[in-house]
Amino acid sequence: MFLPARYFSLMVITIFFLLSCNKNKFDVQVKEVKTFNSYDLNAVFFINDKVGYAVGGERYGIGILMKTIDGGNSWTSPDSIMPKACYASCFFSEQEGFVGGFDSHLTYTNDSAATINDRVFISYLPVRAIKFKDRQSGVLAFGNGYGDGSIALTHDGGQSWTESSKYNHCFRAAAYTDDGTIFIAGYGTILVSQDGINYTVSKQYGDFYTDLHFINDNTGFAVGYQGEILRTDNKGAKWEVMKKTNNPFEQPDHLLAVHFYDATNGVAVGENGLMLHTSDGGNSWKRAKAFTEKSLRDVILLSGSSGVIVAEGGSVFLFNL
């Protein structure tokens, strides 16, 4: 039986489209790790190449923390550490660190969450990022929706925090450079500060920036929910577009996190199993063949070619590029 010409043409076009979708994509070796958790995982933090933490939960119901001591190959059962979902963490050692979450909760532990000390900030906004320059000086970025954000600063190791007034931008990311310069990013803007109190605009009228990573004093990267990747080589004085925002005629990229192991190797991840890799310092990015349809919420490189991804539904993926 012969197909009508129009059906044959449609079949050829479909095959061509599927082949073109995989063109220039690379294979990534992935191992999905079974966990005892079905809550979304939003952030991952490693002390070294063996010991790490993953946090997540349900927005209005529970915030959970899981720990690994074997590089992510196995994880403890999820501990309930706050009444709302966790979005960020920062640890100083295997026992001591901070976890932040919805409704402005910030939890401190010095015994791997066997005991916790929870506080809530005045802004009542979700804690989206926790970064420390050293054991004493740290910054929090808060944000909700598109129009509400604030920043908090500590110089006593988190015993006390000074919170800014509210901004009309939701913040999702924070970063320190080696010399202590602070960058805060979120909806349509990237801010910079030398003292953590006075901020100026480093980039505006751009994407909804979801993550930042600086590899030295001058060079840093920002990724956005509409697929944009930016790089600065002069401490935010100018940002260069390394990947443009989504084309309305193509499948959209929604980036959620970026991490660099060194000045050369970096990975960005996002929704629908999106994973991008650079081996030339961000000049070019290659797309991995999708290994899942899940939203990949955070990533960390533990070497130049391997790392850990946390995702929705409690999924953890170990990968080798």
Q: How far is CA 276 from CA 84, 289, 321, in A?
A: 31, 9, 10
Contact assessment for residue 287 and residue 276, using Cβ atoms and an 8 Å cutoff: yes
CATH 2.130.10.10 correct for 33-320: yes
Q: How far is CA 218 from CA 171, 238, 285, in A?
A: 22, 11, 20
Question: How big, in percent rounded to 5, are the helix, strand and coil portions of the chain?
Answer: 10, 50, 45
Domain boundaries, the chain: 33-320
Average pLDDT over every residue of 22-51: 93
pLDDT digits (tens, 9 = 90+) for 171-219: 999 999 999 999 999 999 999 999 999 999 999 999 999 999 999 999 9
E strand spans, 10-159? 29-33, 40-46, 52-58, 62-68, 79-82, 86-91, 97-101, 105-109, 117-120, 127-132, 138-144, 148-154
Instruction: Give the pLDDT band of residue 227 (cuts 50, 70, 90).
Output: very high
CA dist 50 and 256 (Å) reads 24
Question: Is residue 20 pLDDT above 80, yes or no?
Answer: no
Instruction: Give the pLDDT band of residue 5 (cuts 50, 70, 90).
Output: low
Average pLDDT over every residue of 222-233: 98
Give the per-residue pLDDT at 19: 43
Contact assessment for residue 73 and residue 54, using Cβ atoms and an 8 Å cutoff: no
pTM score, two decimals? 0.92
Contact assessment for residue 125 and residue 149, using Cβ atoms and an 8 Å cutoff: yes
Average pLDDT over every residue of 141-160: 96
CA dist 253 and 245 (Å) reads 8
3-state secondary structure 261-300: CCCCCEEEEEHHHCEEEECCCCCCCEEECCCCCCCEEEEE
CA dist 122 and 159 (Å) reads 16
CA dist 213 and 6 (Å) reads 50
CA dist 186 and 141 (Å) reads 9
Give the per-residue pLDDT at 13: 40
User: DSSP assignment, residue 225?
Assistant: T
